[in-house]
Chains A and B, each alone.
Chain A
Amino acid sequence: MTTSNLHMYVMAAPLICALFVNLLGRRSRRYIAPLTLGALLFSSVTACSVLTNALQNGRLSYTVGNWTPPYGIELIIDPLSALMLLLISVVALLATCAALPSVQREQAGKEHLFFTLYLILIAGLMGLVMTGDAFNLYVLLEITSITTYGLIAMGKGRAVLSSFNYIIMGSIGACFYLLGVGYIYILTGTLNMADIATRLPLVQGDAAVATAFAFLIVGLFIKMAFFPLHGWLPHAYGDAPMGASVMIAPLMTKVTVYLMIRVMFSIFSPQYEFLLHPGIQNLVIWAASIGIVCASLQALAQRDIKRMLTYIIIAEVGYMVGGIWLANDQGMTGAILHIVNDALMTLCLFLAAATIFYRIGSLHFDDLKGLYQRMPLTMAAFTVGAFSMIGVPPTAGFFSKWYLILGGIEAGHWEYVAALIFSSLINAVLFFRLIEIAYFGDVDHAHGHAPTLQPAAPAPWYMQGSLLVTAAALIIVGLGSGQLVQGVIKLALPTGF
């Protein structure tokens, strides 16, 4: 193991363990937890050292199978992908603490299947953030998507239908992306991103390049559920088993936003997007703004925590995409910081939802009465996550929103600024409505006395532990956002910013 291929091991650990989870987990489910947690713990620790390494030494590249690029596949680590790698490992590790008990209860007997898909999905996500090859990116995108289809379909009720719906949309997105890659290959004769980037400016045929770009970006828009291509997400994530959505929801969309950054700045260049096609830029920011507003309003109409959160995820995608397309330093910083923050706060809220679901078996608003008395720690962590979504300092959510709004002001995109503030206000309503229900219990009862509640099986300590760690992380990342921005994100900004 040397420093130059350390990142390979980060991805290999969950992939190899996936095999063993399937083989050994079939015999006894005792093996599943140590294997899964062990692999992800190893990945997290290694990803940590990959990040420090990348910050010291800059860009690192590893050629898989020793085939030299541009023909072989390159796994590239730069500060941004190292940050994403660490984020994915840590979020997956924390999510697994909640996924284990949830799956044990919901999918008894199928745990080894579940966690095989689960680990392959994580390995796929890790591969996505590292790959330096446009076609390899497509392959990994399909790996993550197919495992996700499977995980979602393991849910109850309408889950199979939702999964099928997602397969249709996801495949269209993948096809678009593949077509885009095809065009690029025809134009440049290469699939390596760095190689494409050097050859693309020399290519004749503006319309063909634009077509390729449009296919790539729209394909990713579908995959990340960017408004108005978001229809599949609420059902897919809402009907997925709790153990799956607790990991998919924080990571999937964020990683796809990262991929958009890669396509926009590693394959194409800021000059291409923002100088040659300013009309597209305006269009995307308007779509992001409208998407934020619409998704927030739809979240308001939900009466189930998980459903509500799925719409918030769509709104947050609008935050990040808008921030990137603002084409200035602040917006870009905000978007990347928001990828980190949003992953953490979505994780926090989904972990809280999983814990609540484990304890009371429902996430419907009407069943949450008096929850502050029943589950004070869980609700405290939920409240921290909620404050972060609203954007109350010093939680992390405030600071990324700060940069995003500032970017909007700087770029003069007031519709985006207004959408962000509007969505903060709606989030305040959304979460305080929940907090009010959970805090007040039954107001019909006598003055000040909460209804008596039946005792229920408490969630395991590690489930609650990971929730509390995540909630604490939101505040720590918030207070440390200065260091995060100066030390990592400024280095991770694409050239040209």
Chain B
Amino acid sequence: MIYQSSIWPLMAVLVSLCGAIPILASSRKPNLRESWTLLIAAAKVIIVASLLPTVLNGGGFVFTIAEVIPNVPIQLRVDAMGMFFALVASILWFFTSVYSIGYMRALDEHDQTRYFASFAVAISATIGVAFSANLLTLYLFYEVLSLSTYPLVTHHQDAEAKTSGRKYLTYILGTSIGFALPAMLLTYQLAGTLDFTQGGILAGSGASPATLGLILVLFLFGFAKAGLMPFHGWLPAAMVAPTPVSSFLHGVAVVKVGVFSILRVIFHIFGPDLLLDVHLGAVITTLASITILVASLIALTQDNLKRRLAYSTIGQLSYMILGAGMLSAAGMTGGLLHIAMHAFGKITLFFCAGAIFVASGKKYISQMDGLGKRMPITYLAFFFGSLSIIGMPPFGGFISKWSLATGAVESGQLILLLVLLVSSMLNALYFFPIVYRGFFLPAAEGELEGVKEAPLFCLIPLSITAFCSLGLFFWPTIFLQLAKMAVSP
């Protein structure tokens, strides 16, 4: 594949990083500040989308920022896989920006400037991860993302936020320094490079299967943003953050950066062939299967809506890792596709949870009886989102799950098919009661007086993402094509 040198990948990263400056500068003028946020978000989508046609035609872009270590520059590169993730992230950031304005203003939150500025830095880091050309660059942006989301997680600055922030950093930073960094160094020592290469860089290194297994496990747990058990505990804790943070960062950007990193390692550091040779796929699928089932079961027991969504996310993230671990073309495509499909579905669900909180102040599912009649649009969107995540046609989630199921059959691991089926059933079990309570159970006397739909700034984004989930079933072409190109160019 030919990569043309271009400054645009850097621009895609920098636009929001530099955008943080006017946001900070206009802290006293909220309308101006939010205009900046929207402007930057729109610019980001446009820049990323402008790179899309070339990538779809089999091309790509590259930009070297600095030569830091022999054979390992800090370098950005746009390929199909990175494009796929960047597209999802930048589109959803735009919707989240709109939603944030509605949410933060409706609740009259403090320190909104810091909030919007940190958000801008976080999305820069996310795009940086997507466009990283090698593991070092990815690690760099991965850490920037961890650090820039700390002020967002601890936004409320109370005792609970402090505890959660501590937990967040301990898990994320602890694993990335303790596991991912040594794994990266070992990889460099063995391969002499960290460049993402089709077919992997470790293939010819002559390392023993035990060493490879160690490196793989260090990577899987090192990128704890992917929430692989037992390093998942930060995600439910991070739910103390304002809901737009939970929806975008802990439904899309942060968690999927974790999954994306793991997928990069599987696809382009190890390479599926090497993993098949040394039979390490089973390690990945076993860890992922356990996480899927356990997280889904825990989700059933959660009464706090956001926590239930968090456990659901943990389970869904492992679908993607499971798909990659199948090491078959369909499985890997499905894993990658699920990043997009789950993103649109889960962000809708989080948006709805936030809208419910804004409109009624309710956090617990047991208090939400009859709320659907007061907020029909929100609840309908919630229903759409949950159907997509369960994997029902005609929603986007069906396409990725179908691909995953095909992958399981293709690789001859029927037990994984069973995992997928059981987990989909569990998904239905933890989502449907919420909708059922909303529409069909009577509200407690006088509980919901005067509750109506959330402000339009909240309502419009969540409706759009809900319809996107629906639309992705009928028009998945772009994402499907990118995913296929990423798996088999």
Q: How many residues of B contact A (CB 8 A)?
A: 38
As a 0/1 sequence over residues 388 to 399 of chain A, the CB contacts with chain B under 8 angstroms (1 = contact) are 001111100001
Most buried by A among B109, B111, B151, B157: B157
Q: Decide if A405 touches B182 in the complex (CB within 8 Å).
A: yes
On whether the beta carbons of A479 and B182 are closer than 8 Å, the reply is no
Cβ-neighbour of B188 out of A390, A399, A406, A481 (below 8 A): A406
Q: In this assembly, does B178 line the interface, its C-beta being within 8 Å of a C-beta of chain A?
A: yes
Q: How far is the CB of A329 from chain B (nearest CB, A)?
A: 11
Q: Does chain B have a CB within 8 A of A449?
A: yes
Bound together, the chains give a CA A402 to CA B184 distance in angstroms of: 10
For B189, give its contact among A390, A409, A479, A480 (CB under 8 Å). A409
Give the distance to chain B from A475, nearest Cβ to Cβ, in Å. Answer: 11
Q: What 1/0 mask marks residues of chain B from 220 to 246 whose CB sits below 8 Å from any chain A CB?
A: 000000000000000000000000000
From B166-174, B258-266, B305-313, B429-437, the one touching the partner chain is B166-174
Chain B interface mostly: helix
Query: Is there contact, CB below 8 Å, between A441 and B165?
Result: no
A479 touches B65 (CB 8 A): yes
Tell me if B188 and A439 are in contact (CB < 8 A).
no
Enumerate chain A residues within 8 angstroms of B169, measured Cβ to Cβ: 428, 432
Q: Establish whether residues A394 and B162, one from each chain, have CB atoms under 8 Å apart when the complex forms.
A: no
Query: Which residues from chain A contact B173 at a C-beta distance below 8 Å?
Result: 390, 428, 432
B425 in the interface, Cβ–Cβ < 8 Å?
no
A24 at the interface (CB under 8 A from B): no
Assess whether A443 is interfacial by the CB under 8 Å rule: yes
In the assembled complex, which residues on chain A have CB atoms less than 8 Å from the CB atom of B66?
Answer: 394, 479-480, 482
A residues less than 8 Å from B460 (CB atoms): none
In the complex, are the beta carbons of A421 and B182 less than 8 A apart? yes
Contact A410 B189 (CB under 8 A): yes
Residues A379-395 near B (CB distance < 8 A): 387, 390-394
Interface positions of A from 397 to 423, Cβ below 8 Å from B: 399, 402, 405-406, 409-410, 417, 421
Is A448's beta carbon under 8 Å from chain B? yes
> Distance (Å) between the CB of A413 and the closest chain B CB?
13
A436 at the interface (CB under 8 A from B): yes
Q: Are A443 and B157 in contact (CB under 8 A)?
A: yes
Given contacts A406-B185, A425-B174, A440-B154, contact A479 B74 (CB under 8 A): yes
Indicate whether A443 sits within 8 Å of B186 (C-beta atoms), given known contacts A421-B178, A479-B68.
Answer: no
Check A425–B68 contact: CB distance below 8 A.
Answer: no
Is residue A450 within 8 Å, beta carbon to beta carbon, of the partner chain?
A: yes
Instruction: Decide: A440 near B185, CB < 8 A? Known: A424-B177, A448-B156.
Output: no
B166 and A402: CB pair below 8 A? no
A sample of 5 more A-B contacts (CB under 8 A), given A406-B189, A448-B110, A478-B68, is: A392-B143, A421-B182, A428-B174, A443-B157, A486-B67
A interface residue numbers (CB < 8 A to B)? 387, 390-394, 399, 402, 405-406, 409-410, 417, 421, 424-425, 428, 432, 436, 439-441, 443, 447-450, 478-483, 486
Ranked 5 nearest A-B pairs via Cβ: A482-B67, A393-B140, A479-B66, A482-B68, A448-B110
